[in-house]
């Protein structure tokens, strides 16, 4: 064997070793080695994520604190605008998006979802003084606010088209939409049932749910990881923790603390 041949063989071996290491890279191992999970969420999405005098709190934080304990690492919480979260996840700026993300068939093709953490079925809220709007179909021809880039936005658009037309106004945060609704600049706001239930519970003098509030197909919120082989063990660790917390009552207690009620959630990731 010549020196040149030996050199080529050595270089090939190093390349194969590097490729093998990359292919076997495991996100959970990396997280445990670092001792932390770097997360992203939008801290303006009550009751899941809120800033109270600068302190992060909410249903998401309580759930993920417990999940992190089960995995044996510390959570690092970052306040990121919703529209930047999934793109940031894809380029590796954080390990997971813990902002409640609605599970949809399109997103399932692109991302790895955890087990559901809450009901996400789209619903409607109105000003408490506006008794002309009661059922969902009453929004025909009206102006309805919704957070941009959400599954609720797409569901509202589709529902509006089925009614013959709804003026959909997009907002960066739900808080901005609620403010315009209270000021009379909107007829209604669409969002997930847990968010709107929490809003009405805390501001019943200003807001009221439609009756019925929900429309469209039942959907669920979950957390999101990158869709890659190395993330499979990380997703399993989170799901195992959520199932353990469901069985020992921690999920129920956290739901009741923030939502005032308990909803049984699927024990598998819904297919759509």
Q: What is the largest CA-CA distance in the chain?
A: 90
- Rounded Cα distance, 74 and 62, in Å: 13
In tens, the pLDDT along 172-220 reads 989 999 999 999 999 999 999 999 999 998 999 999 999 999 998 889 9
Domain map of the chain by residue range? Answer: 26-119+219-259, 122-214
**Full-model pTM:** 0.77
CA dist 61 and 173 (Å) reads: 19
Residue range 251-263, pLDDT digits in tens? 999 999 998 888 8
More confident residue, 65 or 271: 65
Q: What is the C-alpha to C-alpha distance for residues 187 and 78, in angstroms, rounded to an integer?
A: 33
Instruction: Please tell me the chain's helix, strand, coil percentages from 3-state DSSP, rounded to the nearest 5.
Output: 45, 25, 30
Average pLDDT value over all residues in the chain = 90
Residue 99 has pLDDT above 70, yes or no: yes
The CATH code that applies to domain 26-119+219-259 is 3.40.190.10
| Lowest mean pLDDT, pick from 4-8, 139-143, 144-148, 194-198 | 4-8
The 10 Å Cβ neighbour count of residue 9 is: 11
* C-beta separation of 120 from 102 below 8 A: yes
Q: Do 26-119+219-259 and 122-214 show the same overall fold?
A: yes
The DSSP bridge pattern shows strands 74-76 and 220-226 to be: unpaired
pLDDT digits (tens, 9 = 90+) for 220-233: 999 999 999 899 99
3-state secondary structure of 112: strand
Judged by DSSP in three states, 126 sits in: strand
Residue 248: per-residue pLDDT: 98
The CATH number fitting domain 122-214, selected from 2.60.120.200, 3.90.10.10, 3.30.70.141, 3.40.190.10: 3.40.190.10
Provide the 3-class DSSP secondary structure of residue 152: helix
Provide the pLDDT confidence category of residue 272 given band limits of 50, 70 and 90: low
> What pLDDT, on a 0 to 100 scale, did the predictor assign at position 259?
87
Q: Token pair of 167, please? A: 């003026």
pLDDT at res. 236:
97
Closest CA to 108 of 241, 270, 220, 229: 270
């Amino acid at each position: 064997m010549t020196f040149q041949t030996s050199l080529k063989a050595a270089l090939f071996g190093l390349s194969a070793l590097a490729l093998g290491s990359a292919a076997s890279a495991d996100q959970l191992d990396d997280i445990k080695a670092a001792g932390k999970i770097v997360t992203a969420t939008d801290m303006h999405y009550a009751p899941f994520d809120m800033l109270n005098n600068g302190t992060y709190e909410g249903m998401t934080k309580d759930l993920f604190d417990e999940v992190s304990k089960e995995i044996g690492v510390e959570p690092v919480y970052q306040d990121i605008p919703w529209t930047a979260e999934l793109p940031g996840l894809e380029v590796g700026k954080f390990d997971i998006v813990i902002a409640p993300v609605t599970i949809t068939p399109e997103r399932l093709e692109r991302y790895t979802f955890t087990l559901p953490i809450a009901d996400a079925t789209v619903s409607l809220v109105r000003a408490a003084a506006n008794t002309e709007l009661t059922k969902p179909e009453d929004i025909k021809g009206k102006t309805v606010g919704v957070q941009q880039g959400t599954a609720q936005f797409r569901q509202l658009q589709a529902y509006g088209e089925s009614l013959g037309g709804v003026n959909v106004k997009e907002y960066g945060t739900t808080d901005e939409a609620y403010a315009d609704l209270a000021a009379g600049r909107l007829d209604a706001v669409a969002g997930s049932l847990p968010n709107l239930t929490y809003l009405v519970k805390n501001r019943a003098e200003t807001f009221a749910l439609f009756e019925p509030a929900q429309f469209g197909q039942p959907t669920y919120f979950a957390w999101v990881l990158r869709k890659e082989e190395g993330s499979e063990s990380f997703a399993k660790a989170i799901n195992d923790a959520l199932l353990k917390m469901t069985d020992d009552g921690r999920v129920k207690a956290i739901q009741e603390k923030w939502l005032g009620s308990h909803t049984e959630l699927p024990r598998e990731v819904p297919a759509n």
